[in-house]
């Protein structure tokens, strides 16, 4: 066998492998998400959101019903690729909990849930910003970043989050463009 035919075969087999992986990935990201499946995982989303914004002297993400907001935004405002990526992230959380603790995520203790969440958060991107930008451009935003952003957005737009978690002036007086925050003052809910 000569070297040219050997190199041609390597290139052909490599191209077939890459194209089959691409087709598999494309079909995985473009399948329709069943809303009932996403609603069934609402409790897990609520637990993850509560880890991001826990209840202290102010209400947490569970009290603000952030999980309902996240599911509604995913189903009504995001494209199919983002929905599938989010569902795959939830499956990854569940599989990591099963592999490391031998039980589903919802049956884990608070410390185990925190450890699972920290693992998912630490493995959501690369250490170099340029690689994160390329990955986001090609594959979209990661599960962790979508969850974090939707949790914060849902919390700040909820009544408990805006009125108790943030400083909220129901009937504002004069508009002042730049005001200095007083010590221990909460961030403003309105811009």
Host domain of residue 19: 1-30
Categorize the per-residue pLDDT at 18 as very low, low, confident or very high, splitting at 50, 70 and 90: low
Q: How confident is the model at residue 93 (pLDDT cuts 50, 70, 90)?
A: very high
Question: What's the pLDDT band for 65 if we cut at 50, 70, 90?
Answer: very high
Asked whether residue 137 is assigned to any structural domain, the reply reads yes
Domains held by the chain: number: 2
Do 96 and 155 lie in one domain? The reply is yes
Torsion sign over Cα 115, 121, 126, 127: negative
Residue 21: inside a domain, yes or no?
yes
**Among 18-27, 89-98, 113-122, 137-146, whose mean pLDDT is lowest?**
18-27
Mean pLDDT of the 14-26 span: 55
Shared domain for 24 and 101, answered yes or no, is no
147 and 60, same structural domain?
yes
Continuous H helices in the chain:
3-30, 35-40, 42-52, 66-77, 80-101, 110-122, 129-139, 143-157, 159-160
Structure pTM? 0.76
Does 142 fall in a domain?
yes
Note whether 47 and 69 are same-domain residues. Answer: yes
């Amino acid at each position: 066998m000569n070297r040219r035919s050997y190199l041609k075969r390597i290139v052909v087999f490599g191209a077939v492998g890459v194209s089959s992986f691409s087709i598999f990935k494309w079909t995985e990201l473009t399948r329709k998400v069943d809303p009932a499946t996403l609603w069934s995982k609402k409790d897990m989303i609520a637990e993850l959101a509560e880890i991001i914004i826990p209840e202290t002297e102010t209400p947490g993400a569970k009290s603000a019903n952030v999980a309902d907001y996240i599911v509604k935004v995913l189903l009504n405002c995001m494209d199919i690729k983002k929905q599938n990526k989010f569902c795959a992230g939830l499956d990854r959380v569940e599989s990591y909990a099963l592999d490391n603790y031998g039980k589903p995520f919802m049956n884990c203790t608070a410390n185990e849930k925190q450890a699972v969440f920290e693992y998912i958060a630490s493995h959501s991107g690369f250490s170099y910003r340029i690689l994160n930008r390329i990955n986001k451009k090609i594959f979209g935003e990661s599960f962790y970043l979508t969850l974090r952003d939707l949790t914060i957005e849902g919390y700040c737009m909820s009544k408990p989050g805006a009125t108790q978690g943030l400083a909220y002036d129901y009937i504002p007086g004069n508009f002042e463009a730049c005001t200095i925050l007083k010590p221990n003052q909460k961030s403003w809910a309105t811009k």
